[in-house]
Amino acid sequence: MKRISNSFYHRFVLLQIFCIIFLHLPAQDTVLNKYGLWVINSVAVYKKTIAAHPQKTMVALSVEMPEAIVDLKYADTANFMHTKLYPTTTTTYLRLAASDALFAVMAELTTKQLNIKIWDAYRPYSVTERMWKTVKDDRYAADPKFGSGHNRGIAVDLTIIDLKSGQEMNMGTGFDNFSDTAHHGFKNLPPAVLQNRAFLRSIMESHGFKALETEWWHYYLPDTKTYELRDLSFEELYKTL
């Protein structure tokens, strides 16, 4: 008997895993998209997923941390797409694990008379597809072939503000600055800006987040692929709370 090749064996194991997952889901939700990705776009499937894994529940940050400032750039037209991608809303969403980690960040900042301002968190997969058509550069926009931490509800775009003045810390650039200046490795900046970025990175990483090297504002939980991609609207998520 010939020895089975490693590549064949790995494909066989992956096929078994997919079969196990799909057998427990409604038939209409087992279809992979054109990139071969499974994207949850059904509330019924979402509920089934979180019933099996409660830590994957999406929570509203306005409920979990009402003191946080939410300023969703894609719920307005003042963004790089120059169009409204989200409905008008005062909240956004994260997986429970990411929300808990972010709450710990905010609690520590509060002791220093600081707070967080959130520009983006959960992002429906279909919005990522729209963004990629405009910015086909994976340093600044997620390639739909892979999806993003935002689609998985484990990434957040944010900055730090002073509690007394309400002013943002000077980070050298604004949100969605698609240039080298926004990279963590860019050092031709005033010492105060470098210090502010280092402070944000330090506190985020101390609570389990990882930094995206090309965007000083973007942080995400590791083990990204253990969380499913989702294309549920804000309205659909709101109804599951």
Residue 41 near residue 55, CB atoms below 8 Å: no
Q: Which of 59, 67, 53, 45 is nearest to 96 (CA)?
A: 59
Three-state DSSP class for residue 187: coil
- What's the confidence (pLDDT) of residue 29? 53
Q: What are phi and psi for residue 165, nearest 5 degrees?
A: -90, -25
Measured torsion, CA atoms of residues 41, 218, 103, 49, in degrees rounded to the nearest 10: 20
Convert the pLDDT of each residue in 19-49 to its tens digit. 444 444 444 455 799 999 999 999 999 999 9
Looking at residue 75, its amino acid is A
Residue with more model confidence, 4 or 89: 89
Residues near 216 by beta carbon (within 8 Å), at least 6 away in sequence: 171, 172, 173, 182, 183, 184, 197, 200, 201
Convert the pLDDT of each residue in 198-218 to its tens digit. 999 999 999 999 999 999 999
Distances (CA, A) of 225 to 45, 146, 149, 228, 229: 18, 9, 9, 7, 9
Residues near 50 by beta carbon (within 8 Å), at least 6 away in sequence: 56, 57, 58
Convert the pLDDT of each residue in 113-131 to its tens digit. 999 999 999 999 999 999 9
Q: How far apart are the first and last CA of the chain?
A: 55
Q: What are phi and psi for residue 167, nearest 5 degrees?
A: -85, 145
Convert the pLDDT of each residue in 4-17 to its tens digit. 344 444 444 444 44
Residue 151 near residue 123, CB atoms below 8 Å: yes
In sign, the C-alpha dihedral spanning 181, 183, 187, 193 is positive
- What's the confidence (pLDDT) of residue 18? 45
The chain-wide mean pLDDT, for the chain, equals 90
DSSP category for residue 128: H
Q: What's the predicted TM-score (pTM) here?
A: 0.86
In the structure encoding, which two tokens stand for residue 1, read together?
A: 């008997």
